[in-house]
Amino acid sequence: MTIRPILIHPDPRLKTVTDPVSDISDEIRALGADMLETMYDAPGIGLAAPQVGVLSRVLVMDCVKEEGAAPRPMVLINPQIIASSEETNVYEEGCLSIPEQYGEVTRPAEVEVRWLGLDGKEHTQGFDGLWATCVQHEIDHLDGKLFIDYLKPLRRQMITRKMQKLKRERARA
Ligand code: K1U
Ligand code: ZN
């Protein structure tokens, strides 16, 4: 397993609508394993394939945060939201592609998601709480959307400028 570098906004690959996965190949299995390792190393609670430069509809997540609790790694291929609650939740989101920047995003509090597992089987599950926020944030990545797209234009512009500066500094180091 390999920790892959995480792309930093702005990057055209983070604005791209990704392609569905047509079969569960060894390459996809390796991608899922690498993405989980990269997410835990960051650390984060989710990661989508475009964040590691792969333009395929794959995401990983594990929103178990309690100290000492068993981890719950999930790999979702071609995920689709098939139902969303009327009730909404506001969460101060972050993003591994936009380090140290946060913003409040309102999303449906509960969603039902269908996806293909690494076992090749179709899965359907309801998510709530942080899991619901995270799976929606990650599916947005697969559609080229970032949490800052929900913020006011001025705030989004400020964050983008900070990230451009960060990238320049990292390139010089
Ligand atoms: O997709 C990503 O960039 C990962 C992102 C997921 C996410 C965070 C918050 C709300 C929705 C989705 C992160 O994991 S940011 C890091 C983070 O939230 C975290 C890191 C360590 C412990 C707990 C949370
Ligand atoms: Zn993100």
Residue 66's pLDDT band, with cuts at 50, 70 and 90, is: confident
What is the atom index within ligand 1 of the atom nearest the CA of 65? 23
Query: How many Å separate Cα 110 from the centre of its chain?
Result: 17
Domain boundaries, the chain: 12-172
Q: Is 101 in the pocket of ligand 1 (CB under 6 A)?
A: no
Under 8 Å between Cβ of 21 and 35: no
pLDDT of residue 43: 97
- The answer to whether 138 touches 91, Cβ cutoff 8 Å, is no
Catalytic one of 37, 92, 138, 169 = 138
Q: Which pLDDT belongs to residue 65?
A: 84
**How much is the pLDDT for 173?**
84
Task: Tell me how far the alpha carbon of residue 98 lies from the centroid of ligand 2, in angstroms.
Answer: 7
Rounded-to-integer distance, Cα 169 and Cα 173, Å: 6
* pLDDT of residue 86 exceeding 90: yes
| 3-58 per-position pLDDT tens digit | 999 999 999 999 999 999 999 999 999 999 999 999 999 999 999 999 999 999 99
Contact 82, 124 (CB under 8 A): yes
CA 76 vs CA 8, 13, 39, 124, 168: distances in Å: 22, 20, 14, 11, 33
What's the confidence (pLDDT) of residue 110?
A: 98
- Dig out the tokens for 81 from the structure: 């939201």
Render pLDDT for 103-146 as a digit per residue (tens, 0 to 9): 999 999 999 999 999 999 999 999 999 999 999 999 999 999 99
Q: What is the mean pLDDT of residues 78-106?
A: 98
pLDDT band for position 91 (cuts 50, 70, 90): very high
Strands of the sheet with 122-127, listed across from one edge: 46-48, 58-61, 74-84, 111-116, 122-127
Class in CATH terms, 12-172 = alpha beta
**Cα–Cα distance, 104 to 150 (Å, whole number):** 8
pTM above 0.95?
Answer: yes
Residue whose Cα lies nearest atom 9 of ligand 1: it is: 93
104: DSSP letter:
E
